[in-house]
Amino acid sequence: MKNIILILLFIKTFVFSNEITESSILQKYFKECDMYLNNNTFKSCYNFKAKGITASFAFIYGENVDTLNIKQRPNFYEDTRIPEQHRVKNIDYLYINMDKGHIQSDASNDYSEASLKETYALSNAVPMYPRTNRISYLHIEKRERELAKEFGTIKALTLVNYTTSKINDMFIPKDFIKVFFTQGYSECYKIPNDNNSYKIEQMKISCSEI
């Protein structure tokens, strides 16, 4: 029985990784966007009410990982594509004891000035508790780069689930779902935004839950 269960879980994961395509991602997770943000290196679904991203999708190329590793990081800046009343500003993060947490990783995009700068738009940041941003989320970002180098190219989907609590009109995320997949393989993670430090194995979930 145990072997049967393991086989079924494998089949579900295999089906997920083979059936999911960029078009199906956009259809399922980007259909209720207030704004569709089409960047050069990633696509994001922006929600006016949350003042933040609900979904983001990117291709991560192993050949770009660790090629340049630009040390100088840009400053976060307002995304002027978004109407001002729905736009996050740097002042919104003053004195709130929360980080501007990247949705799409800066470390996966530091192979060129242009790709790195895109990740510093405030539309690519949400309020993250410090330990979540600097420890738990960091583990998953590192795994993203490891998989890209291992497989050559991976697809990365990030989903943001929000609480009903707000700070400076920004809804605070409850957790983040990270899905990494390529032909015949997938890995999925849930990162709680609770200011606790989690090991990567504590955050791994079955892709059948997505």
> Over its length of 210 residues, how does the chain's per-residue pLDDT go in tens digits?
444 433 334 434 444 444 667 788 888 999 889 999 999 999 999 999 999 999 999 999 999 999 999 999 999 999 999 999 999 999 999 999 999 999 999 999 999 999 999 999 999 999 999 999 999 999 999 999 999 999 999 999 999 999 999 999 999 999 999 999 998 899 999 999 999 999 999 999 998 887
Q: How high is the pLDDT of residue 209? A: 82
- Please report the pLDDT score of residue 19 as a whole number: 60
pLDDT at 5: 39
In one-letter notation, the amino acid at residue 71 is: K
Cα angle, residue 185 at apex, residues 182 and 187 outer, rounded to 5° = 95
Tell me the two tokens of residue 166: 């707000």
Q: What's residue 20's pLDDT?
A: 64
Distance CA 82, CA 35 (A): 8
Dihedral of alpha carbons 187, 37, 124, 39, sign: positive
| Cα 205 to the center of its chain, rounded Å | 16
What does the pLDDT read at residue 46? 98
Q: Which CATH superfamily is domain 2-209 in?
A: Extracellular Endonuclease, subunit A (3.40.570.10)
Boundaries of every domain in the chain: 2-209
Residue 171: C-alpha distances to residues 55, 82, 164, 187 (Å): 15, 17, 7, 27
- Report the first-to-last Cα separation within the chain, whole angstroms: 24
